[in-house]
Chains A and B, each alone.
Chain A
Amino acid sequence: MTVRWIVLAFLAAGTALLRSLAPVPGAELLSLGLILLAGLLAGDLAERIRLPRVTGYLAVGMGLGPSLLGIVPGADVVRLRSFEEIALGLIALTAGGEFSTRIIRSRWKLLVAVTGTHAAVIAAVVGGIVWAALGRFPFLGPLEPGARSAVALLVGVVAVAVSPATTIAVITETRARGDLVDGVLGITILKDLVLLLLFSVASGLAFRWTGGQAPGGLGGLAMHVGLSLVAGGALGVGLGAYMRWVGRHTELLVVALALLATEIGAGGTLEPLLVCMAAGFTARNLFPSAAEPFLHALERASPPLYIVFFALVGAGLPLDVLVAVGPAALGLAVVRLLVVMAATWLPAVAVGGSPVFRRYGWTGFVAQAGLSLGLAARIGTEMPGFGRVLSTLIIGAIVINQLAGPILWRWGLVAAGEAGTAPDGGAGNGRHMERR
């Protein structure tokens, strides 16, 4: 193992040297190659010390990225964004594909109760605490009452968001299945839908309170979500039919579908993640015989993309921000964690959720990445005045959550006894449910 790391260090040094020779187009491949090799090793190391492989990939990205060593420059992180988009699409397809109507039928009370509680309680409590504590954050400067409410509301809404990518990736790598996986997966998907709605309402209110120009209203959002689901459903029917009656080049097909969803979502009319989730869900549930090869194709195409995706997420995490707002961000992350624990346990008890879910369900809702970072960045660019400082604080908390989230989620799956119970070559409960 040590020799491998020494070899990698030499490669990293060579890469840095080559980058300094000539900044030519195509040189981003150096970053890609180094990320793949280092990610594989870091994943192994993380596994050895009982951490999720995802944490290893994130650490590689942070180490090589612009915040620390700078061997993978910020420009390369942007140039390699296509890989991020493909990976996100594949992750969303997996989430939809693992989610069967049986899960909804058997657990709908739990899904609705926990999602609703998360949306209401996390946003309200975190927002409330932030509102009360705003006077103690000197770097935000003096705030008008309206601005103070807007800040609190937006921070509360961003605290609701989770990282579906991390949730799915840890389930896949631990080969987990069972009640905990079913519950967390279902709620994660549902939360993604609810979050879009919440953010739209919250940003509308926040803009009104701060005198800014509010974006499109609820009607527009409903259209956005509805069209995304319809488009995803249509793609899912096509995907399922292809898998059932043709069934060739399946890995390439799922990658193409992820790209297609990204492209049709690029105009802003559709939400790529929702399109992919709906496509995976439709394909899996309308064409049950195609589910197995479809999910296997996703698994075969995923590993290199997971490495690149999480390493790029790590490289994109602004660690300097964490240093600047460390204590406040840590406080925000701890508050969120405690509220997530309570907001998961209470509704689970109320609707008679399984004991493992009551005990470990919260571990699946800690990680935050892409969507949360996107929302935080939007706050930074779109909110007048204090937006930048606020987004810095939120990003600091997201960095902490993203580092702790996969570790806690893996621990939860292992402690619940669900890790390693999926059949070889499969993960998640989708196929398991099919066999029952």
Chain B
Amino acid sequence: MVSGSLAFLVLLVLAVGAWEVQRLVGHRLLLLEGVGVLGLGIAAGGHGLGILPEDLVRNLHPVVLVGIAWLGLLYGLQIDLRVIRRLRPWHRWSGLLLPVIPAALAGLTILLASGRPGPAVLVASVATIASPRLAGLVLEGRRPADRGLVRLLRVVMAFSGIPAVILLAVGTTLLADGAVEGLSGLAGALILGLACGFALVHLGTGERQDIRLMILLLGAVALTGGGAVCTAHSPVLPAVIAGAVVINRTSSHHRLLRVAHALESPLYVALLVLIGASWSPHRLDLAVLGALTLARGLGWVVAGSILRRVAGARGIVLGARTPGLGWLPQGPLAMGMLLAVTELLPGSGGILEAGVLAIVVNHVAGHLWASRTLPSREAR
């Protein structure tokens, strides 16, 4: 029996090491954000050097729950209705509806492969997410040449988490033994999120010290993580709800968001190491990986062409022919949700393996597309 302290120590050392390796040699080795960390996790895992074997990973289950909940909370903290109300209505609808297209195609692929609607909806929820980070990474602070395109890309990227979380909740409910159990679990997760959100609002009012806000956020995240497993749901749904409640009910949301961002990187790196350590080449199904990647890519291409037409009808001409490829990359929330889905489907080996590789492939493809299609004015 491995102690929790040892497991935590190994994870800490690996995460810091991975962080440093990525920082020092990531650019030289052309490693995209997070890919190097994943690689180190795979190397350290049970199928690599064995530094972080399966029993150690099992002991770190609470860290996984907290990490997933933290990423969910961070996303929820960005659902600011004040900002959303300032958007044009067609931006809002595009952001909410377009991500459903790749989700539908990815879900259909899994449904055809497994014949079960629950897993199909859950995988679709991961496929829905597009990372809002990429455009920023590629442009590196420079002014984009096609600002209209970047704006639309970012709107859809920012909104894509909402249908993803809804699909995750639906998929989890479908997995339950019966309708009553499923719906009561869903209700429990919703109430948990609302309760944690409103508790954070009341407990955080007037707080000015970052460390106190950090303790409050950690407490709320631990509650959502622990409560979610009791309701047989992933921590993502309650955490997103809690974050959304907090951001829309407090005036100190900027401070909260800053504090939440401060812990995002260490937790994300830790999650990536754990995902890498759990990744097994023997469970990888290349057919599923190819089908998933193609279905999602095709979905986003279709969504992009629809957006191009919708924008054109409003007199906005988008320079890129296939703007949908800009939505291929997936960030921390997608990784967190993939881990959540894997936890919800313990018997179905291969989803983590295919999902992780699909995210990496999408990341690389999206990066290539963005670096070619979104040159800055200075670069031109």
Contact = CB atoms under 8 A, between A and B. Distances in A.
B280 to A, nearest CB: 21
A26 B59 CA distance: 10
A22 B232 contact: yes
A194 to B, nearest CB: 27
B6 A263 contact: yes
Contact of A18 (B20, B212, B221, B227): B227
Interface stretch (B46-54, B121-129, B137-145, B194-202): B194-202
B179 interface: no
B9 A27 contact: no
B214 A304 contact: yes
Given A21-B230, A27-B229, A37-B216, A260 B223 contact: no
A205 B50 CA distance: 46
Given A36-B215, A41-B203, A263-B5, A249 B222 contact: no
Interface string B185-216: 00010011001101100110000000110111
B220 A33 contact: yes
A307 interface: yes
B171 interface: no
A37 B5 contact: no
B4 A82 contact: yes
Contacts of B195: 10-11, 14
A135 to B, nearest CB: 44
- Interface of B: prevailing SS: helix
A81 interface: yes
Contacts of A300: 211
B4 A24 contact: no
Interface in B6-30: 6, 8-9, 12-13, 15-16, 19-20
A117 B61 CA distance: 48
B9 A7 contact: no
Interface stretch (A250-258, A332-340, A354-362): A250-258
B6 A24 contact: no
B198 A7 contact: yes
B62 A18 contact: no
Interface in A21-58: 21-22, 24-37, 40-41
A4 interface: yes
B376 interface: no
A318 interface: no
B61 A26 contact: yes
Interface residues of B, number: 45
Contacts, number: 141
Given A26-B61, A256-B13, A32 B203 contact: no
Nearest to B185: A21
Given A36-B222, A81-B4, A25 B215 contact: no
A28 to B, nearest CB: 7
Nearest to B221: A33
A312 to B, nearest CB: 14
A69 B124 CA distance: 43
Contacts of B227: 14-15, 18, 30
B266 interface: yes
B16 A253 contact: yes
Contacts of B220: 33, 37
B16 A37 contact: no
A16 to B, nearest CB: 11
A7 B199 contact: yes
Interface in A160-190: none
A282 B20 CA distance: 26
B219 interface: yes
A10 to B, nearest CB: 7
Contacts of A40: 203, 212, 215-216, 219
A154 B196 CA distance: 48
A259 B5 contact: yes
B336 to A, nearest CB: 15
Contacts of A18: 188, 192, 226-227, 230-231
A85 interface: yes
A3 interface: yes
Interface size grouping (class) on chain A: 35 or more
Nearest to A82: B4
Contacts of B188: 18, 21
Contacts of A307: 215
B65 interface: yes
Interface string B234-262: 00000000000000000000000000000
Contacts of A82: 3-5, 8
B226 A249 contact: no
Contacts of B56: none
A19 interface: yes
Which of the listed residues A7, A15, A18, A249 has the most CB atoms from chain B within 10 Å of its own CB? A18
Given A3-B202, A4-B202, A37-B199, A252 B65 contact: no
A28 B226 contact: yes
A30 B230 contact: yes
A32 B13 contact: no
B37 interface: no
Interface string B61-87: 110011000000000000000000000
Contacts of A22: 229-230, 232
Interface string B170-194: 0000000000000000001001100
B199 A11 contact: yes
A252 B14 CA distance: 11
Nearest to B217: A36
A21 B203 contact: no
A21 B231 contact: yes
A303 interface: yes
A383 to B, nearest CB: 27
A345 B232 CA distance: 60
Ordered nearest first, which 10 A-B pairs have the shortest CB separation? A29-B226, A33-B222, A33-B223, A36-B219, A30-B226, A259-B9, A37-B219, A82-B4, A26-B229, A18-B230
B66 A29 contact: yes
B318 interface: no
A266 interface: yes
Given A29-B65, A33-B221, A40-B212, A85 B5 contact: yes
Interface string A256-293: 10011011001000000000000000000000000000
Interface in B141-173: none
A41 B203 CA distance: 8
B14 to A, nearest CB: 11
A202 interface: no
Given A30-B227, A304-B214, A86 B5 contact: yes
A26 to B, nearest CB: 4
Contacts of A36: 215-216, 218-219, 222
Contacts of A86: 5, 8
Interface string A338-374: 0000000000000000000000000000000000000
